[in-house]
């Protein structure tokens, strides 16, 4: 059965379980179709890169689903302007954590929503400060494997929250799906966020 909202099927162009969970919380029925586009780009500005990658993924899936509303997102982590992608292995993950230890870095998530040939997009930024990490803590977290599939090499919603001393901005952006921006973009396309849930909760 097609997942429909406002007369359009909603497609999430991401395989991230965290994005699936957060979109589900908004009461938006959807299906997942992962973009096959590579995340390679020569862009070095993290804000621009997040927007570019979200747009590329979204356009790829929208081209295959012209009648659907497509949501795409991409998260980029940078410290002092240096991009930290997904670590290739535990050793690189540990190297990332050493760079982040005791410092403030930036998390940018680009979000693009496509419907009816029209795109609405934005980028959210959150500043995250790590406490000073002991080498044993770095090794333990790197060996846990939690950070291997995440930009920056950590997951703030899991064990990685113990690495963080301060967050300035939207927590859900660090998870990879800035809720306030997603809600604004969906409503801009006429999607009634929480609409279905509100109807179910209304007294008869």
Number of domains in the chain: 1
Exactly one of 40, 67, 74, 139 is catalytic; name it: 74
Asked whether residue 201 carries a pLDDT value surpassing 70, the answer given is: no
Count CB neighbours of 38 within 10 A: 8
How much of the chain, in percent, has pLDDT values that exceed 90?
Answer: 79
Q: At what angle do helices 135-144 and 90-100 cross, to 10 degrees?
A: 140
In this prediction, residue 193 carries a pLDDT of: 80
pLDDT in tens, 19-40: 999 999 998 899 999 987 777 7
In this prediction, residue 106 carries a pLDDT of: 98
* Residue whose token pair is 């090499």: 153
Is 46:91 a contact under the CB 8 Å cutoff? no
Q: What is the mean pLDDT of residues 77-98?
A: 96
Q: What is the 3-state secondary structure (H, E, C) of the chain?
A: CCCEECCEEEEECCCCHHHHHHHHHCCCCCEECCCCCCCCCCCCCHHHHHHHHHHHHHHHHHHHCCCCEEEEEEEEEEECCEEECCCCCHHHHHHHHHHHCCCEEEEEEEEEEEECCEEEEEEEEEEEEECCCCHHHHHHHHHHCCCCCCHHHCCCCCHHHHHEEEEECCHHHHHCCCHHHHHHHHHHCCCCCCHHHHHHHCCC
pLDDT in tens, 149-170: 999 999 999 999 999 999 999 9
22 phi, psi to nearest 5 deg: -70, -40
CATH number for position 108: 3.90.950.10
State how far the Cα of 157 lies from the Cα of 83, in Å rounded to an integer: 21
Q: What is the mean pLDDT of residues 43-58?
A: 95
In this prediction, residue 66 carries a pLDDT of: 94
Residues spanned by the domain of 75 = 4-201
Structure tokens at 38: 């590579």
Catalytic annotation on 74? Answer: yes
Q: How high does pLDDT run on average in the chain? A: 90
Q: List C-alpha distances in Å: 87 to 91, 131, 155.
A: 8, 20, 12
Asked whether residue 196 carries a pLDDT value surpassing 90, the answer given is: no
In this prediction, residue 5 carries a pLDDT of: 55
């Amino acid at each position: 059965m097609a997942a429909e909202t406002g007369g359009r099927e909603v497609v999430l162009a991401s395989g991230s379980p965290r994005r699936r969970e957060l979109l589900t919380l908004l009461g938006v029925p959807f299906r997942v179709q992962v973009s096959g586009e590579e995340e390679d780009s020569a862009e070095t500005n993290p804000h621009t890169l997040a927007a570019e990658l979200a747009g590329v993924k979204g356009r790829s899936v929208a081209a295959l689903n012209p009648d659907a509303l497509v949501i795409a997102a991409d998260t980029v982590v940078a410290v002092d302007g240096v991009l930290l992608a997904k670590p290739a292995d535990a050793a690189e993950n540990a190297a990332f954590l050493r760079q982040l230890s005791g410092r403030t870095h930036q998390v940018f998530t680009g979000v693009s929503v496509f419907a009816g040939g029209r795109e609405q997009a934005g980028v959210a930024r959150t500043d995250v400060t790590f406490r000073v990490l002991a080498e044993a803590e770095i090794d333990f977290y790197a060996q846990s494997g939690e950070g291997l599939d995440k930009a920056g090499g950590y997951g703030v919603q899991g064990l990685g929250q113990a690495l963080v001393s301060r967050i300035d901005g939207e927590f859900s952006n660090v998870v990879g799906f800035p809720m306030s921006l997603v809600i604004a973009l969906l409503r801009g396309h006429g999607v009634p966020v929480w609409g279905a849930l509100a109807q179910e909760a209304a007294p008869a």
